[in-house]
Amino acid sequence: MSFFEEVYKLLKTIPVGRVTTYGDIAKALGCPRSSRIVGYALHVNPDPQGIPCYKVVDRNGFLAPAFAFGGEDAQRAMLEGEGIEVVNGRVDLDKYRHRF
Residues 53, 63, 84, 91: which is the catalytic one? 53
How many residues in the chain? 100
Residue 87's H or E segment, with its range, is strand 86-87
Spatial separation of the C-alpha atoms in residues 55 and 63, rounded to whole Å = 9
- Measure Cα distances from 96 to 31, 56, 92, 99 in Å: 23, 11, 6, 10
SS3 65: coil
31 included as an active-site residue: no
Active-site annotation, residues: 53
